A and B are shown apart, each in its own frame.
Chain A
């Protein structure tokens, strides 16, 4: 297969985050990084009516879809985020331009005969990674969720409204805490600016980290 030229650009590219990136927080309360491109697939299937779906997904991705609301399953390379009772977002850390098409085809093939929908939404969303001791406090200013450590724990996923009107998916990865924020790509700069504004009141410094 001939090598494909990719013209894709991250929605955060105009901010030039990569040029400002530091390797660590250096005492800042919160750090924001722009991760590499990922494959994002939207999977819709009624698990109770399609009993073979879980096994088919596991065969391709090596993970089972979480059936508990507001949770995620997966490992460092792949995640399945719960979006609704019959909807999941599959996240695969594969930055090749053709990866989205390949994984969609693989998953569709495995799910053949099962009533479901697999859609590649990789290019529809922007990803921001937020980390640092003040991350919860900063995010608390932007979303109406209870961000207390007892109420939002690692492995949980919550969709909510960010700032005034922008829908985001928050995925808490660890106790640092590290959040992955997924938003529509046209809102990427808005989310970044709003975070920076929230950080002003919550902590001393706002760092830009390597993705």
Chain B
């Protein structure tokens, strides 16, 4: 089980959290003007990185706040957590083949 460092509550077990997918994905500025294909891209398609990944989590059984996490999807190493709106920590990004 992952030990996730919630930026508000500290380290807690993974089963207190829920996953929110890819972080830093800009929402299209004017959704009604873009094509269905572009909207579908935004809603359904996410990066499938094997390596360092920026993702969203919510501490649903704790403080109920959203935050971002930098995690290695292969090794499960957690490089850091940061609040919404904050800049991500400097991480030596890795991608495995």
A binds B: yes
Residues of A within 8 Å of B10, CB to CB, are: 69-70
Residues of B within 8 Å of A83, CB to CB, are: 63-64
B15–A159 touching, CB < 8 Å: no
Mask for B1-38, Cβ within 8 A of A = 1, else 0?
10000001110110110000000000000000000000
A97 interface residue per 8 A CB criterion: no
A144–B16 touching, CB < 8 Å: yes
Main secondary structure of the interface of B (DSSP, over half): loop
Residues of A within 8 Å of B15, CB to CB, are: 144, 161
A27 interface residue per 8 A CB criterion: no
Interface size bracket, B side: 10 to 19
Q: How far is the CB of B13 from chain A (nearest CB, A)?
A: 4
Complex: chain B residue closest to A82, CB-CB = B63
Mask for B77-91, Cβ within 8 A of A = 1, else 0?
000000000000000
A62 interface residue per 8 A CB criterion: no
Residues of A within 8 Å of B16, CB to CB, are: 144, 160-161
Q: List 12 A-B contacts (CB under 8 A).
A: A70-B10, A83-B64, A84-B8, A85-B63, A144-B12, A144-B16, A159-B9, A159-B61, A159-B63, A160-B16, A161-B16, A167-B60
Q: A83-B64, A161-B61 are in contact. List 8 more A-B contacts (CB 8 A).
A: A69-B8, A69-B63, A70-B10, A84-B65, A87-B64, A144-B16, A158-B9, A161-B16
B interface residues with partner A (beta carbon < 8 Å): 1, 8-10, 12-13, 15-16, 60-65
